[in-house]
Amino acid sequence: MQTLHDPAIRGFASDNYSGVHPEVLAAIAAANDGHQTAYGADDYTAHLQQVIRRHFGEQAEAFPVFNGTGANVVALQSLLPRWGAVVAAKSAHINVDEGGAPERVGGMKLLTVPTPDGKLTPELIDQEAWGYGDEHRAQPLAVSITQSTELGTLYTAAEIRAIADHAHTKGMLLHVDGARLSNAAVALGQPFRAFTTDAGVDILSLGGTKNGAMGAEAVVVLSEGAGEGLVYLRKLNMQLASKMRFISAQLIALFEGELWHQNASHANAMAARLRAAVEPLEGVGFAYPTQSNGVFARLPEGVADRVRDAFFFYDWDASAREVRWMCTWDTTEADVDAFAAAVREAVGG
């Protein structure tokens, strides 16, 4: 098939815009010959369990799925009875960007809390963690946090431990949306386990797609109290891949060696480079610290649209002239420098 797009066009809209890392493509090809048992009873999915346990502990169990929304819905469903509710930040992906899937498909109530930086705290959780035993209120039985957050900020291991301990004292379980968990691990300089398993997280949505995979995520169960019925819920939610070996092979390619770290390190470094390049420009400000691979900038009037003539990106809060710039594993220094030059020209500096 002929190439239908211009590979020279680069953007900063999303880390989903990038292609698939060559090592991941090679892993798919390596898994392709011959026949393997379907629906996860294959050698690659079995080997993936070993890889995941090296990162998260011997108790961990991985359930590969197609996408992040599916991972979040399936994970949260496994934590809750039909009358259960989830406390999350108002800016959380499950609330803002999943088309109502957790509520419409997952059948759960989201109880959202405004946060200044995308991060929950025990005190913020308590704004919605109440009404236990009240038959008129959905019961808050899970907390969901995102690492790194939708605003590019990070939870420390201590902050997650405080949330987990607080949630557990209330009989709640803790879910982490880890679509960008690799970026967080690199930024924190810690192994995954330090701020998940060892910090009291019960279940995790582990991201691969944003960090070089073609379409590969996993629900990872971390505690004995989590993951009830996952083997059924994955099928019920249309997330059970018949040819699962190809999802598992991608996750093996990312997480068995250092590819996950290499890709995330590069994406984070490109975001830092971009911020440093535009920070001195008059009229350019920043809404949040740049702690992972996203830059949230505030631009003078009209600048965003002028820059978008050459590079596509999204408005984050148009009323505040706030935009989001995402870097990814294949963002180059030349991409960043060209983009920064376009911003500089549009600003007039």
Which pLDDT tens digit goes with each residue over 224-269? 989 999 999 999 999 999 999 999 999 999 999 999 999 999 999 9
20 Cβ neighbours under 8 A, 6+ residues apart: 212, 213, 214
Percent over 70 (pLDDT), the chain: 100
* pLDDT-flagged residues of the chain (< 70): 349
Percent over 90 (pLDDT), the chain: 99
Provide the H-helix boundaries in the chain: 22-30, 43-56, 68-77, 93-96, 101-104, 122-125, 157-169, 181-188, 230-236, 245-255, 259-278, 303-307, 333-347
Tell me the C-alpha distance between 255 and 204, whole Å.
15
| Domains in the chain, CATH or no CATH each | 31-255 (3.40.640.10), 259-347 (3.90.1150.10)
pLDDT at 261: 98
Number of Cβ atoms within 10 Å of the Cβ of 260? 28
pLDDT at 154: 98
Tell me the C-alpha distance between 127 and 112, whole Å.
9
The predicted model scores a pTM of 0.97
Burial class of 63 by CB neighbour count within 10 A (0 to 12, 13 to 18, 19+): buried
Span 55-81, pLDDT tens digits: 999 999 999 999 999 999 999 999 999
pLDDT at 1: 92
pLDDT at 349: 60
